[in-house]
Amino acid sequence: MEYPRRSYWHDTADNKIEAAANKEGLDGKKYDVLIIGAGLTGLTTAYLLKDSGYKIGIIDGTDAGYGVSGYTTAKITVQHEVIYDYLIKNFSLSEAKQYLKANEEGFSLIKKIIADNVIECDYAEQDSYVYATDEDELKQIKDELKAYEELGIDCFYTESVPLPNNAIGAICIRNQGQFNPLKYLYSLYNIVSSSCEIYENVRALNIEPHGDHHVVETESGKINADKVVVTSHYPFDNSFGLYFLRLYQDKSYVVAAKTKEEPFRGMYININDPVYSMRYHFTENENLLILAGGNHRSGKKDNEEDSYRELEEFLNKHFKGAEIVSKWSAQDCMTYDKIPYIGLYSKSVDNLYVATGFKKWGMTHSAAAAIILRNMLLGIEDDFSEIFSPFRITPAQSSKEFFSSIKSISAAFLKRIAPVTDVLGLIGAGEGKIINYDGRKVGVYKNENNDYFCINPVCTHLKCSLSFNEAEKTWDCPCHGSRFDIRGNILEGPAVKPLDKIKIKK
Ligand SMILES: Cc1cc2nc3c(=O)[nH]c(=O)nc-3n(C[C@H](O)[C@H](O)[C@H](O)COP(=O)(O)OP(=O)(O)OC[C@H]3O[C@@H](n4cnc5c(N)ncnc54)[C@H](O)[C@@H]3O)c2cc1C
């Protein structure tokens, strides 16, 4: 499959040596555990279960590595912008400790997997910083520092921040890490594939519970499994759990650039918009600045090129003469109370598990999720998983965000009945537009050769109206984040069905 976006990691990680299993024989297969999604969460879960005696199958709707894990900035840290002060104030000190411990365990697991398997993934130890650019951010980081001290985190405050923009102070957690996420993910894939069957380009369509087992319907047939683990980033099955009401997606943009300056050490991010995340990636051949920002809720930006432009302006201003070698964007699932959902998918279905909502901190969270899921499947008790329960009730924390989300989703639904005035002849090369054709709406993309690609511009997930993303030439859903290429093929779920192709006469 052709992917419209590749990250620097896709261009530099070529260590996937094991082939996917042949999907011809998939229909009717039986597994003890079926994992849906071969991103970092799914593969790490499989890694932890590989010696459990379970027969494990893994399916992924695309080629492994083309989920969010292939587009991350790959800071491995328990410092998630500012979170601990919020957790202590809105939950409790003991719940903040659970969140911290789970992520520390996740971080230790990643380091152990790298060491035990001698994985070459450009891993480097780095201090992690949240920096302030104004008084409001400074107050927030000072409150966060107090929370670190209460939690016993190894940290310090500094006003000496080696960034070229106006950082006036920062808090640091020592000895965190960074890596090339795809070199790591492909190594995990190679290790896991010796004991689990991994199928790529097999999308799960739905899950039917049948008492003591589940039947997962896929594009390549039905699979039976005693236990099913959904690590598909956005939980795709709407029959249980109401995740489409409990999650939204937020997008960020990344550029990797060669800079003239001496690279600085450390990984940095500020809190309020505009957010600029920075770290250098060090390899034998080159040192690249990984700059991320331009954050917005998915579907909320009229022109996504503006986000790249903002990053490029920042780069030109603060890193003169920098040369961009790669740029990409991605979105991550966010929960309204800022805590991921890890555990049983629904109260009403046994042996069905989920991990999602990592809010752009999925390196340690994916490994933490793998530990929690392993513990649940094997009946191991731990003292840090409760806070992640998908059944927690936190109205005070989530209501404000939730209602603004409902407003945004309603707006996307309303767009469906908005009049569309464009006509075919007004579509320029490289543009996508929705036109009225024969009494219905049609999404039309015209390429440089004047070929037209026409689709039904309604998301197959929950019928939201799609909008065209000029920057990446994709049809994007503003409600839940599904994305389709110009031919209507799925690039990202939760949608599980492609868009209908439409024939029009020119
Ligand atoms: C721009 C950006 C920067 C980030 N930077 C950081 C960072 O510095 N540090 C950090 O900790 N986190 C970061 N994150 C977050 C982190 O990258 C993600 O949270 C994490 O990679 C999610 O991993 P995952 O395995 O859950 O999902 P994915 O990697 O998306 O894997 C899910 C897999 O499921 C498959 N799938 C989906 N639907 C189906 C289906 N129906 N059937 C079968 N397969 C399916 C997909 O193809 C995919 O391969 C960042 C996120 C973004 C967007």
Strands (E), 148-299: 155-158, 169-178, 197-199, 204-210, 213-218, 221-230, 247-258, 267-269, 276-282, 287-297
Sequence-separated (6 or more) residues with CB below 8 Å from residue 250:
295, 296, 297, 298, 331, 332, 334, 359, 360
Window from 40-49, 158-167, 468-477 with minimum mean pLDDT: 468-477
393 Cα to the center of ligand 1, angstroms: 25
For residue 31, list its beta bridge partners.
225
Window from 169-183, 233-247, 356-370 with minimum mean pLDDT: 233-247
Architecture field, domain 8-71+183-245+338-397 = 3-Layer(bba) Sandwich (3.50)
Contact by Cβ (8 Å): 353, 340: no
Query: How does the average pLDDT of the chain come out, rounded?
Result: 92
Contact by Cβ (8 Å): 201, 62: yes
Per-residue pLDDT, averaged over 120-147, amounts to 98
Contact by Cβ (8 Å): 132, 271: yes
- Ligand 1 cavity residues, CB under 6 Å: 36-42, 59-62, 66-69, 71-75, 203-204, 231-233, 236, 252, 254, 292, 330-332, 358, 360-364, 366, 493, 496
Question: What is the rounded distance in angstroms from the CA atom of residue 137 to the CA atom of residue 131?
Answer: 8
Label residue 413 by pLDDT band (50, 70, 90): low
Q: List the 474-476 sheet strands across, edge first.
A: 467-469, 474-476, 483-484, 490-492
Domains 8-71+183-245+338-397 and 418-492 share a fold: no
Window from 96-100, 138-142, 490-494 with minimum mean pLDDT: 490-494
Query: Strand, coil or helix: what is 167?
Result: coil
Pocket test for ligand 1, best of 47, 78, 232, 298 (most atoms within 8 A of CB): 232
Ligand 1 nearest atom to the CA of residue 496, by list position:
41
Peptide bond into 419 cis (omega under 30): no
- Multiple choice CATH, 418-492, 3.30.200.20, 2.102.10.10, 1.25.40.20, 2.40.10.10: 2.102.10.10
Residue 401 has pLDDT above 80, yes or no: no
Per-residue pLDDT, averaged over 278-305, amounts to 89
Per-residue pLDDT, averaged over 134-143, amounts to 97
Residue with tokens 């440089």: 448
Pocket test for ligand 1, best of 77, 126, 234, 360 (most atoms within 8 A of CB): 360
**pTM: predicted TM-score of the whole model, two decimal places:** 0.93
Structural domain spans, the chain: 8-71+183-245+338-397, 81-86+121-179+247-334, 418-492
Window from 58-72, 245-259, 357-371, 427-441 with minimum mean pLDDT: 427-441
> Residue 24 burial by CB count (10 A; 0-12/13-18/19+): exposed, middle or buried?
exposed
Which residue has the least CA distance to atom 15 on ligand 1? 360
126 Cα to the center of ligand 1, angstroms: 22
Q: What is the helix (H) or strand (E) element at residue 147, kind and residue range?
A: helix 135-151
443-464 pLDDT, tens digit per residue, is: 999 888 888 899 999 999 998 9
157-215 pLDDT, tens digit per residue, is: 999 999 999 899 999 999 999 999 999 999 999 999 999 999 999 999 999 999 899 99
Contact by Cβ (8 Å): 480, 466: no
Per-residue pLDDT, averaged over 411-418, amounts to 51
Architecture field, domain 81-86+121-179+247-334 = 2-Layer Sandwich (3.30)
Residues 451-457: contacts with CB under 8 Å, at least 24 apart: 452/424, 452/427, 452/504, 452/506, 453/486, 453/487, 454/501, 454/502, 454/503, 454/504, 455/484, 455/486, 455/487, 455/488, 455/499, 455/500, 455/501, 455/502, 456/488, 456/499, 456/500, 456/502, 457/499
Per-residue pLDDT, 42: 98
Contact by Cβ (8 Å): 31, 357: no
Structure tokens at 177: 């890490």
For residue 278, list its beta bridge partners.
268, 291
- 45 or 212, higher pLDDT: 45
Label residue 1 by pLDDT band (50, 70, 90): low
Contact by Cβ (8 Å): 325, 370: no
- 342 or 261, higher pLDDT: 342
Sequence-separated (6 or more) residues with CB below 8 Å from residue 13:
65, 180, 182, 183, 185, 186
Per-residue pLDDT, averaged over 384-401, amounts to 80
428 Cα to the center of ligand 1, angstroms: 33
> Residue 497 burial by CB count (10 A; 0-12/13-18/19+): exposed, middle or buried?
middle
Ligand 1 nearest atom to the CA of residue 67, by list position:
30
Label residue 304 by pLDDT band (50, 70, 90): confident
Per-residue pLDDT, averaged over 428-443, amounts to 86
Question: What is the rounded distance in angstroms from the CA atom of residue 25 to the CA atom of residue 423?
Answer: 47
Residue 29 has pLDDT above 80, yes or no: yes
Residue 419 has pLDDT above 60, yes or no: no
Window from 20-29, 45-54, 357-366 with minimum mean pLDDT: 20-29
Label residue 126 by pLDDT band (50, 70, 90): very high
Residue 342 has pLDDT above 90, yes or no: yes
Structure tokens at 165: 């923009």
Per-residue pLDDT, 421: 47
* Alpha-carbon separation of residue 66 from 5, 159, 375 (angstroms): 9, 39, 27
With a pLDDT cut of 70, the percent of the chain lying above it is: 93
Residue 389 has pLDDT above 90, yes or no: yes
Structure tokens at 422: 């464009």
Ligand 1 nearest atom to the CA of residue 37, by list position:
34
Which phi-psi region, left, alpha or beta, contains residue 221 (left: φ > 0; alpha: ψ -120 to 50)? left
What is the β-pairing status of strands 124-132 and 169-178?
antiparallel
Residue 153 has pLDDT above 60, yes or no: yes
Residue 4 has pLDDT above 70, yes or no: no
Per-residue pLDDT, 409: 62
- 317 or 440, higher pLDDT: 317
Query: Strand, coil or helix: what is 414?
Result: helix
